[in-house]
Structure 1
């Protein structure tokens, strides 16, 4: 009777024999197996992606080496997706048996991969569709499963040892072209080194990528450099999106990629030096961020994609923790939370990107602050938008102003509007100007009307109206542009006196910060702000301030304006150069304008701003008696006497 030890030895011998037989069998039939895999791949490309896949020559070399020649993939009725003259690689035999390709070594010589779009035809369209096995009745994509599948397949195709020569990646988007020509790429002992030529329609450069890469353990730490002098320019985006960008160097680190409990976790960091961006919707000049780093933790689930709040963004001396999420469990929801821990105000000012906050250059401050932002937008319930912004300050004080010296609002200064990038005539804001009108010499009706139409809570808010801000965000998201503002009088004043009317990210950010400083540091009284506002805003063609406006429209001083006249002036503030369209060809207000008048007057009565004595205005028509009347298209005989010579003299600037 055999002992237990003898039985174990017998089992081992049988197992070894079986493995040997299996290896011999695989070795004997591997050529046939390789051809079957190529045929299976060609069939799949044909049926699933409507593409023609060809390998002109395929053979094994050694135990697990594979040599392929003239490998081509051509989508039907589209440009060749890739063509490679020579590929030598080793594959994991056991993974190959289950149809999973994992490369060990890779040698590529002379080939190209290209993405093209001609008209609306893309040669890669078929490869963007979903995997049928992941589709369900609700037609939702499992973000974690989808991302992990793509990442795993890509990493399996990255060998542990690689030698690439003359491999080009081409992009042609209806004539917008970019070519990344890999002259040499070597990955050996997990160390990566490359030599790359980049060429577009606008520039040519030589890049170098160097660092650590371990595709089997899903880790990497690589750096991008420019071999030549100067910064690395980002290709394609300049032509496609008019976004000119460059950087001195960039580093990408991947510490961990792991899927567990239905969630995919990706951890690491990326850093960039001297990032320069230029785009018309960002700023008028180059925006420069000298040093930036993002320590990220990305989380993906079946119905969400997010940047975890443990992530950290740092640029210069500013550090904050962002939380971004895109959720689709029930509704489509976008979330953003930002937390800036307590920091010195001066560190924040000096860390602001060059070119993005030009009016803050040279500003100095004392004290500290911390900041929290909570934003949530439900695409299916836009009215439920959440926007909470909270800044806590300690001994915060501006000790020196930059280009935007807010103190100048307290004294006499020259104002010059900028319209369509053209500097307008100078307007003196002060008593030396005969048209300048102190607040106490302006009709109370005008204050009432302008505050009603422009900013009802001006004397109580601190620069911003939260609800109006929310409505503005909703409208801008829906239209995907700056289609609506949430401007208070404070914001209009800052924009007019210190900034421009351009709709750029830079101008909006500067406006928000300057308004906050103005309203929360008691630099200028509300009364003085309103007085300056009345004396600088545009009220018609080349008409600035209420002194000029009251003469231009009614040949009166601001103190003598009636309610109807004040309401007219308040209503045209958004589009002062189109005032003439308020009137018909008889010189009377149109029905639509009368409806506006009725609505606003009823609103003011409801709010208790008008008394019974004020209702006499209802029987009075709004008639232009000043030079403005000549711009109306009046067909009937005009009996109003206007001394055109006198008008021309009065408004000759």
Structure 2
């Protein structure tokens, strides 16, 4: 269909006039529209967030530049959240007309944002609540669309040009205060630079942040440095979590944020130099990571969030390819896969963080290895948990030990337990100690009982039991705390002889690595390991080794212990210093202790470790040694008179 040129020209002319009228209308009524917009925001803050929002003065300069003075956002009955003296910003009217708010420039002078917590009340709690519409909706959230929408909105609010002066960011967590002063922050031509003055308790530093920032194209490459001498210390964490952290520099890079179809891709990397961490739950001293880098690819779909397997993590010379996924398509499934490609064993040892593996310092090794971990947990079907850990070695051999010389277990040595950071008395592990008991002189019943309670597959595993790890993980997930371990006798031996009882990440990681080296390099025979174990573990208050224990409880040698005595000794290993609470005031075992021993006995019957003849004629457990003095036994009153001792018969002869 053809239109005459005159009609087309006339239509364009009319359209131009309409646009001109709209522009003139916008220009003349822009301040009224601005006031209406502020009133709308004020109403929303009051109704949805129980907060007062106010602007002392608001006006346009031209079509897109807005001036605001004395902007305040204060939750009712709480400390002010935001207060800014002067704001000048520009917005894109063309994008605004289609509902896409993009901030062009931003100038802020003299203001602050503060997060305050008093008791359990926080001045920002109202803004953390989910929207009413979102709460009432039963529709499943699509992660990729939701994340991309939030990222786009946030980045659109980041101006392409920015100038901040005299701005503060303050945290007050029940008196734990941190202040970040922004003396000047400039973003111009996609180049960002700012100097920050950070203050907290016993803390005063000046930081420099600079780099490339392009919020419209969703790209950035930013670095953090310390303007003063020394490392950058991380504020607030020390006061709040007793975590001390510092680093020389950090680099944050975002290369790509792109949504293609139903998937969102976020690519980039982050690196850190000389990261130092100190926390009593991590290690007893500073942990230092000299160089670390994470090249990431986050993938989000309608029903999953993941770190893709193309991502790499590098810790000094150690490279790791992780895959982490959270999937809710059918069930809620958590997946973790770790792949350490083939690498030199010595490169692995020298790359371990200082302070986290102190017993490995000075260790030398030859050969190569690779490692794979496969973990999957279905929240709806917990019993289908997958836990598979494999280490493949190639001519791997320890040529020199560090602080933990595992060969020590093959000879005579002095053992000293550490309890609550207190070094206990020395115990000689060897024939020169009269209480030392060789394995063949320990009652076979006791060997069977202890192996049943502590490590039934001791003679067949190589330090770890995957099934035990699985059950431990399930128990910890169900209880939402670390309530159950999966410790084998090998692990207990390493912990007792070479490590401490401190509950730190460092101790657990060292324990795992040392056990693997001990078991998989056949440094010590299983029989020798079990013999040392029986002769060093604590069996009671200041009672070490089965030689001392058998006399302490029963005044007999380990070879002469009967079945029930062995059952008793096996059940007190987890809490030997509290053995006395298993007895009543008559010196007899309480019902729950008897039930525990019966359970163990029946278990051993089912496994063929005991036969009925083994328990024939056995009397109840009787503590006859020095242990009896620890039991609160009620002593009968010899002066007490029985109720009927002076009774007189109703009938008697005269």
| Alignment TM class, shorter chain as reference | over 0.9
Please state how far the C-alpha of 1:99 moved relative to its aligned partner.
4.7
Moved more, 268-277 or 466-475: 466-475
CA displacement, residues 468-512 of structure 1 (integer Å, 9 cap, x when unaligned): 211212222344443221111101000000111111111111111
Residues in 2 aligned to 1:423 and 1:476: alpha-carbon distance in whole angstroms: 31
Q: Tell me the residue number matched to 1:43.
A: 43
SS in structure 2 at match of 1:217? coil
Residues in 1 aligned to 2:154 and 2:364: alpha-carbon distance in whole angstroms: 50
SS in structure 1 at match of 2:633? coil
Q: Tell me the residue number matched to 1:298.
A: 298
Trace 1:444-463 onto structure 2 (pairs within 5 A).
444-463=444-463
Residues in 1 aligned to 2:598 and 2:178: alpha-carbon distance in whole angstroms: 60
Please state how far the C-alpha of 1:11 moved relative to its aligned partner.
5.1
CA displacement, residues 528-564 of structure 1 (integer Å, 9 cap, x when unaligned): 0000001100011111111111111122221222222
Residues in 2 aligned to 1:597 and 1:3: alpha-carbon distance in whole angstroms: 101
Trace 1:44-443 onto structure 2 (pairs within 5 A).
44-135=44-135, 137-138=137-138, 140-443=140-443
- Residue 626 (str. 1) matches residue 641 (str. 2): no
Residues in 2 aligned to 1:7 and 1:406: alpha-carbon distance in whole angstroms: 96
Residues in 2 aligned to 1:189 and 1:506: alpha-carbon distance in whole angstroms: 46
| Contact 2:563–2:615 under 8 Å retained in 1 | no
| Contact 1:212–1:221 under 8 Å retained in 2 | yes
SS in structure 2 at match of 1:216? coil
Q: Tell me the residue number matched to 1:535.
A: 535
The root-mean-square deviation of aligned C-alpha atoms, in Å, is 2.0
Please state how far the C-alpha of 1:264 moved relative to its aligned partner.
2.5
Q: Tell me the residue number matched to 1:474.
A: 474
Residues in 1 aligned to 2:191 and 2:561: alpha-carbon distance in whole angstroms: 80
CA displacement, residues 71-110 of structure 1 (integer Å, 9 cap, x when unaligned): 1111222211101100111110122334543111111100
| Contact 1:304–1:325 under 8 Å retained in 2 | yes
Moved more, 517-526 or 200-209: 200-209
CA displacement, residues 408-455 of structure 1 (integer Å, 9 cap, x when unaligned): 000111110000011101111111111111111111111111111111
Q: Tell me the residue number matched to 1:642.
A: none
Please state how far the C-alpha of 1:120 moved relative to its aligned partner.
2.2
CA displacement, residues 182-213 of structure 1 (integer Å, 9 cap, x when unaligned): 11001111111101111112312111100000
- Residue 494 (str. 1) matches residue 498 (str. 2): no
CA displacement, residues 22-50 of structure 1 (integer Å, 9 cap, x when unaligned): 33332222222222222222222222222
SS in structure 2 at match of 1:399? strand
- Residue 525 (str. 1) matches residue 525 (str. 2): yes
Report the CA distance shift for 1:626/1:16 in structure 2 as closer, same or farther (over 3 A).
Answer: same
| Contact 1:101–1:157 under 8 Å retained in 2 | yes
Unaligned runs of 5+ in 2: 638-654
Moved more, 114-123 or 364-373: 114-123
Please state how far the C-alpha of 1:636 moved relative to its aligned partner.
4.5
Please state how far the C-alpha of 1:19 moved relative to its aligned partner.
3.4
- Residue 504 (str. 1) matches residue 504 (str. 2): yes
| Contact 1:135–1:141 under 8 Å retained in 2 | no
Residues in 1 aligned to 2:357 and 2:481: alpha-carbon distance in whole angstroms: 21
Q: Tell me the residue number matched to 2:634.
A: 635
| Contact 1:211–1:222 under 8 Å retained in 2 | yes
CA displacement, residues 127-185 of structure 1 (integer Å, 9 cap, x when unaligned): 22224454564365443333223222221121111111011111112222211111100
Report the CA distance shift for 1:136/1:337 in structure 2 as closer, same or farther (over 3 A).
Answer: farther
Please state how far the C-alpha of 1:5 moved relative to its aligned partner.
5.9
Please state how far the C-alpha of 1:584 moved relative to its aligned partner.
2.1
- Residue 548 (str. 1) matches residue 548 (str. 2): yes
Please state how far the C-alpha of 1:615 moved relative to its aligned partner.
2.8
Q: Tell me the residue number matched to 2:30.
A: 30
Residues in 1 aligned to 2:163 and 2:260: alpha-carbon distance in whole angstroms: 34
Residues in 2 aligned to 1:259 and 1:118: alpha-carbon distance in whole angstroms: 41
Q: Tell me the residue number matched to 2:647.
A: none
Please state how far the C-alpha of 1:262 moved relative to its aligned partner.
3.0
Residues in 2 aligned to 1:211 and 1:131: alpha-carbon distance in whole angstroms: 36
SS in structure 1 at match of 2:130? coil
Could you tell me the TM-score, scaled by structure 2's length? Answer: 0.93
| Contact 1:482–1:503 under 8 Å retained in 2 | no
Could you tell me the TM-score, scaled by structure 1's length? Answer: 0.93
Moved more, 326-335 or 41-50: 326-335
Residues in 1 aligned to 2:3 and 2:491: alpha-carbon distance in whole angstroms: 94
Q: Tell me the residue number matched to 1:584.
A: 584
| Contact 1:72–1:83 under 8 Å retained in 2 | yes
SS in structure 1 at match of 2:216? helix
Residues in 2 aligned to 1:341 and 1:637: alpha-carbon distance in whole angstroms: 72
Please state how far the C-alpha of 1:396 moved relative to its aligned partner.
1.1
Residues in 2 aligned to 1:116 and 1:525: alpha-carbon distance in whole angstroms: 60
CA displacement, residues 317-363 of structure 1 (integer Å, 9 cap, x when unaligned): 11111112223344433221111111111111111111111111111
Please state how far the C-alpha of 1:520 moved relative to its aligned partner.
0.7
| Contact 1:585–1:635 under 8 Å retained in 2 | yes
Moved more, 582-591 or 69-78: 582-591
